[in-house]
Structure 1
């Protein structure tokens, strides 16, 4: 799947989604009535197309993008356990760097922890295939969206 197809899937499948586009990257927020102040919106997925914010995935390759999805701690741990992840968002992992993980963050069509935000239970996948999208990514997106809705409702109930 490409970025446009994924963006279309997210906006057509989930209600109340706002998309902000900056520098070619897409940020998906739950914003049910379109009037939620920016500091109360809950981002649940992003599509990143360049290495501006980190260089782990080598997104400067032609047609390569990374889909990032914020999932629950339980789902994250069921997928990845508690492996160490790189901690410096501005560094590039090196083969002799003992702080880097066992993941090849440049690999296509592989669900893995986000190289920077994995510690916050974000996952990523570069260029998911149609099959991977249907069998795995759709489920992760649904969980992330439902978490954003729950956070919004909890915050709204306190207001």
Structure 2
């Protein structure tokens, strides 16, 4: 999967707001070139919630284990929630507290190197092995975000 295929897949889901910070907008420079997905059917960036998925293209401070400083490397991050996280990793998110993440393999579903402790999964450079899983996990993250939004709206 290419970055653009992932962006197109998620952006095509109903009610998704896609943010792609660039130089000149109000976003912090570190976020430029990355993509953030929110469930926001009104088209307004939510102020009280995190994105349900992101595509990052570079190492962030304290988050270097995915080695995103390689040419064309990127990582897809998605909120999985506890049950799906356990299904994929065999561990509850809280079990990772204090555990240092090792180098990330490409094309493999992993606990997010920084946010795994709160139920996030990730895939570095998704390819043929993780294509289906990546789409499935992005759809699940979307479903969770949509459910949270609808509960808040009631």
Q: Which residue pairs with 2:119 in the alignment?
A: 121
Is structure 2 residue 138 aligned with structure 1 residue 146?
Answer: no
Long gaps (5+) in structure 1: 88-98
| Equivalent-residue separation in structure 1 for 2:50 and 2:68 (angstroms) | 25
Matched residues, number: 141
Long gaps (5+) in structure 2: 22-31
Q: Match of 1:51, SS?
A: coil
Q: Which residue pairs with 2:42 in the alignment?
A: 33
Q: Which residue pairs with 1:65 in the alignment?
A: 74
Which whole-Å deviations, capped at 9, do the CAs of 1:102-151 have from their partners, x for residues lacking one?
x532x1101000000001100000111145212x1111111100100000
| Equivalent-residue separation in structure 1 for 2:18 and 2:90 (angstroms) | 31
Which one has the largest radius of gyration? 1
Q: Which residue pairs with 1:24 in the alignment?
A: 33
TM normalised by structure 1 equals 0.80
| Equivalent-residue separation in structure 1 for 2:66 and 2:129 (angstroms) | 21
Quickly say closer, same or farther: Cα 1:10–1:130, change in 2 above 3 A.
Answer: farther
Q: Which residue pairs with 2:5 in the alignment?
A: 5
Among 130, 147, 152, the alignment partner of 1:132 is 130
CA RMSD of aligned residues (A): 1.9
Which whole-Å deviations, capped at 9, do the CAs of 1:76-96 have from their partners, x for residues lacking one?
011112275475xxxxxxxxx
| Equivalent-residue separation in structure 2 for 1:8 and 1:40 (angstroms) | 25
Q: Match of 2:51, SS?
A: strand
